[in-house]
């Protein structure tokens, strides 16, 4: 039994449709991730700045610029106090938001480009 002559084009069309649906879903997903990361950037940055200020990290870190020779002499104690006052949680949160922002931007642009190729062939 021979398959119909238009079967190949039907399969190709179906594949293109599936590809388009998949690309649209990915665009929507990454657009949501992008929007969330943009919204989250400001509070994460504010939280980091507030923690840097309240923990004293900024004051100790600025000693590098004002008293470099003292910092170089007592570098062990200086390193310890920087580590003690480093706002690790808010820094990790901020970096995670930045990472999400960059990754979602990259994947969103990639999928928009892909969607254009599927729709218009360029």
Partner 1 sequence: MDFNKTIIFSIAGVIVLCFVFGLGIFIGTRRADFSFRWAEQYHQNFAGPREGFLGMGNMMQNDFIDANGVIGEVISINGSKITIKGKDNVEKIVTTDEETIIMCQRQNFKLSELKSGDSVVIMGEPNNNGQIEADFIRIMPAPTKGCLKNN
Give me the residues that bind partner 1 (CB under 8 A), please: 54, 56, 59-60, 63, 66-67, 70, 73-74, 77-78, 80-81, 83-85, 88
Residue 23 burial class via C-beta count within 10 angstroms: exposed 0-12, middle 13-18, buried 19 and up: buried
- Look up residue 25 and give its two tokens: 């879903």
| Rounded-to-integer distance, Cα 91 and Cα 59, Å | 17
Pick the closer one to partner 1 by CB: 34 or 85. 85
CB of 110 to partner 1, least distance (A): 19
**CB-neighbour burial class of residue 83 (10 A; exposed 0-12, middle 13-18, buried 19+):** exposed
Identify which of residues 9 and 54 has a Cβ nearer to partner 1 in the complex.
Answer: 54
Nearest approach, Cβ of residue 120 and partner 1 (Å): 33
Q: By C-beta, is 54 or 116 nearer to partner 1? A: 54
Residues in the chain: 122
In the complex, least distance from residue 88 CB atom to partner 1, rounded to whole angstroms: 8
């Amino acid at each position: 039994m021979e398959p119909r002559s238009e079967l190949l084009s039907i399969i190709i069309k179906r594949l293109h449709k599936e590809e388009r649906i998949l690309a649209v879903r990915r665009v929507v997903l990454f657009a949501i991730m992008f929007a969330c990361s943009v919204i989250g950037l400001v509070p994460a940055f504010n939280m980091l700045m507030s923690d840097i200020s309240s923990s004293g990290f900024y004051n100790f870190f600025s000693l590098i610029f004002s008293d470099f020779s003292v910092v170089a002499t007592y570098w062990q104690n200086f390193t310890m106090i920087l580590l003690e006052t480093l706002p690790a949680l808010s820094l990790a949160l901020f970096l995670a938001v930045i990472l999400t922002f960059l990754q979602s931007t990259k994947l969103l642009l990639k999928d928009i480009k892909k969607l254009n190729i599927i729709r218009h062939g360029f």
